[in-house]
Structure 1
Amino acid sequence: MTEFVQIQTTTGDRAVAERIAAELVDRRLAACVQIAGPMTSTYRWQGEVESTEEYVCTLKCRAAAFDEVAELIGSLHPYDVPDVIATPISHASHAYGKWLNESLSP
């Protein structure tokens, strides 16, 4: 079932997370988007260790749509380098796989 992937991105603003979710689902690029948070992220940026409150967006989409999804997230995202990471979905229930297929653009 590797035709689908789960993509994760983070943003420091819940409104941005909600906008990303709405755009992806509206364009049928994502079947669903879960928003979780806030959480604390600690990372190195421009030589300094930073800690920021963020929201996680987790979405399911077609693997073939990754580049389009990443581009759309980048266009809506305020970060210079937004994280857009995909993990293949190797297994899913038959019913969920069918729902994914029906919910996404071909």
Structure 2
Amino acid sequence: QSTYFWEGAWRNAQEHVLTALVPEAYLEQLVSIIKSAHNYTNPEIIARRLTVLSSEYASWIHDSLAELQASQS
């Protein structure tokens, strides 16, 4: 449940959080997809780089992205 100020009035809405791990090269494409599918004029989109993570998680991300890239070849 979110409360926010929009177009001169306070609003309440049920919202959902989407977390997506994507290679930076795909970020603009993902943002475009979200904007075209979202019903908000200005959806909240926040991107961050992973700088601190466990070695096991880093390996999983690396392997997953390598598999994704191989499947697109």
Fold similarity call, TM over 0.5? yes
Gaps of 5+ in 2: none
1:52 aligns with 2:19: no
Q: Name the structure 1 match of 2:33.
A: 72
Q: CA deviation at 1:102?
A: 2.2
Q: Higher relative contact order by CA 8 Å / sep ≥ 6: 1 or 2?
A: 1
Q: CA deviation at 1:44?
A: 1.2
As a proportion of its length, which structure holds more helix? Answer: 2
> TM-score of the superposition, structure 1-length normalised?
0.55
Letter in 2 for 1:85: I
Q: CA deviation at 1:47?
A: 1.1
> TM-score of the superposition, structure 2-length normalised?
0.74
Q: CA deviation at 1:65?
A: 2.1
Letter in 1 for 2:35: G
Give the counterpart of 1:98 among 55, 59, 64. Answer: 59
Distance in 1 between the 2:6 and 2:47 partners?
22
Counterpart mapping for 1:1-106 below 5 A:
40-104=1-65, 105-106=68-69
Kindly, what percent of the aligned residue pairs are identical?
31
Q: Which secondary structure state, in structure 1, belongs to the residue aligned with residue 15 of structure 2?
A: strand
Q: Which has the larger radius of gyration?
A: 2
What is the number of residues matched between the two proteins? 67
Q: Which secondary structure state, in structure 1, belongs to the residue aligned with residue 19 of structure 2?
A: strand
Distance in 2 between the 1:47 and 1:71 partners?
27
Gaps of 5+ in 1: 1-39
